[in-house]
Structure 1
Amino acid sequence: MEILAMHISNGIINGPVAAAFAAFALVALAFCVLRGRQDLDDRLAPMAGLVAAFIFAVQMLNFPIFTGAVSGHLLGGALAAVLVGPWVGALCVAVVLIVQALVFGDGGVAMLGLNITNMAIIGTAVGYLLIALLLRVLPRNTNGLAVTAFVASVVSVLIASQGFVLQYWLGGTTDVGSSLGGLAGTMAVAHLLIGIGEGLITATTVVTVAKVRPDLVYALRGLRAAAPAAGPLPAGGGLR
C-alpha cells in the first residue's frame, strides 16, 4: 500500500540506489534554493509558508481507491508550482516530506531522497511545465485556470508515480508480485485516480485564490498585461 501511495518505506529500494537519489535530491534542492531566492519577496515568502502548511494538512487526509484497498492523498507538486513557482514549490513539498518522514514515519527516512525526487522534484517540474504551456493556449479566465490546474495535477502525479518504477527497476528489493510492466500499469491506474482527486482539490484551491488575489498566484504574474483583451482574470467567469 505504501508503494501505491507514493511514500516509499525503508527497505523497498536498496542502499546504493537510495543514496544516489539522495545525492541527486540534495543537488536539485540546492539549485532550487539558489533560484528560489531570486523569486522570494514580501508577497511570495508568506505564501510559500501557507502552501507548505496546506499541502501538509491535505496530505494527512487520505481518500480510498480500489474499494478501499489502497489510499491516496494530494502530492502537491502542481499546486505548489502554480501558486509559488517551480523552485520555491519544490522546496515546499520537500519540507513537507521531510517533516512527515521524521515526525510521523510516513515514508522511510533512508528513502527520503527517492520520495523527494518523485514528489517534490519530478511532480513540481512536470506540473509547472504543463502549467506554463497550457496557460498559453487555454482561455485566460478562471475556467482556463481550472482546467490548467486539473490537467497539470493529474499528469504530474502520473509521471511522479513512474519515477518509483524506475527506482524499483534500478534497485528494488521487495517482491511486488508482478513484472516491471505490470508494476508500471498498476502504479499508473492507481495514481490516475489519485491524480483526479488531486486535480479537483488543486483546481478549486487555485481558482479560489485567483478570484480574490490573482497577484498571489505565481503562474499568473504578467498574464493580464499579456492579454488585456481578455480582461482581468477574476472577471473572466467562474467555474461551471
Structure 2
Amino acid sequence: MHVPDGFLDLWVAGLFWLASGVAIGVAVRRARSELGDERTPLLGVVAAGVFAAQMLNWPIPGGTSAHFVGGAFAGVLLGPSLGVLAMTAVVTIQALVFGDGGIVALGINLFAMAVVDVVVGYLLFRGLRGVHETGAAFAAGWLAVTASAGVVAVGVGVSSAFAYQLDVTVPVMVGGHAALGLIEGAITAAVYGAVANARPDLVLGRSAPGEDGLLDAPEVDA
C-alpha cells in the first residue's frame, strides 16, 4: 500500500502532509496524558511486530501492492493516540531506512496507515465489541484496511502524475484490499484474542475509564 514518489501531484502530497501533521500532533498531545498507562510499554513491541509483518508484500493489479498493515490492531490494543504514534514510527522508518514509500509521498502513507487505519479500526472495535469482542476485532482489521486503501486510491487517482485515474484506482485498491483485508481481519482477531486471554488488563475497556486515547466516553460491554 505504500505510495512511492512520482505517483502524486505535489499539491496532493502537500495536502496529505498537512493532514498527517495535524493528526499526529493531536495524537502526541493526547498521548502525554497516557504516559503512565499500562499499555505505554507495549508501544515499542506493537511497532516492532507491525514493522516485521509489513515487510511481506504481494502485487495486485493496477500498479500497486498489498500487505498486512496492522494499524487497526495498534488502535485496538493501544488506543488511537498511542496507536497513531506506533504506526507513525513504523511507516517513517520504512520510508527513510528501507525506501518503502517515498519521502514526498510520506504524508499520504502516514495518513492512510498511521491515522485512518488506526482510528477507523479503533472506532469500529469500540462500537462493535459489545456485540462480539473477537468479531469486533475482525471487523476492525478488515474494514479499517479497506478504508486506508480508499485513501490511497483517491490520492493517486486524482493525481495527473499517476497513470490511472479514480475509475481504476478506487475499484482496484478498495476491492483488492476488501478481499485481502479478510486475512488482516483474521490476524487482528487472532492476535487480539491471544493478548486478551494472556493479559486482559492491557485490553481497552477492561481498565479504568478514560484511559483509551482520543475518546473518553465510557464503554458499555454487553
Mark yes or no: TM-score above 0.5: yes
Does 188-197 or 89-98 show the bigger shift?
A: 188-197
| Residues 103 and 86 of structure 1: CA distance in aligned 2, closer, same or farther (over 3 Å) | same
- Number of residue pairs matched? 212
1:45 to 27, 40, 43: 40
Distance 2:202 2:27 in 1: 20
Tell me what 2:24 maps to: 29
Structure 2 counterpart of 1:54, one-letter code:
G
Does 53-62 or 162-171 show the bigger shift?
A: 162-171
Distance 1:23 1:64 in 2: 29
Identity across matched positions, percent: 38
Higher helix proportion: 1
| Native 8 Å contact 1:82 1:219 kept in 2 | no
1:99 to 93, 97, 112: 93
TM-score by length of 1: 0.81
Tell me what 2:213 maps to: none
Unaligned runs of 5+ in 2: 210-218
Q: State the 1:83 CA deviation.
A: 0.5
| Native 8 Å contact 1:83 1:219 kept in 2 | no
| Residues 172 and 215 of structure 1: CA distance in aligned 2, closer, same or farther (over 3 Å) | farther
Secondary structure of 1:107's partner?
coil
Within 5 Å, give how 1:141-220 maps onto structure 2. 144-176=132-164, 179-220=165-206
Structure 2 counterpart of 1:167, one-letter code:
G
Within 5 Å, give how 1:58-97 maps onto structure 2. 58-62=53-57, 71-97=65-91
Tell me what 1:135 maps to: 129
| Residues 42 and 127 of structure 1: CA distance in aligned 2, closer, same or farther (over 3 Å) | closer
Q: State the 1:44 CA deviation.
A: 1.8
What is the root-mean-square deviation of aligned Cα atoms in Å?
A: 2.2
TM-score by length of 2: 0.87
Q: State the 1:194 CA deviation.
A: 2.5
**Cα offsets for 1:171-215 (capped at 9, x unmatched):** 341212xx5233211112210132111111111111001001011
Unaligned runs of 5+ in 1: 1-5, 139-143, 231-240
Structure 2 counterpart of 1:191, one-letter code:
H
Larger Rg: 1
Structure 2 counterpart of 1:148, one-letter code:
A
| Native 8 Å contact 1:82 1:128 kept in 2 | yes
Distance 2:182 2:90 in 1: 21
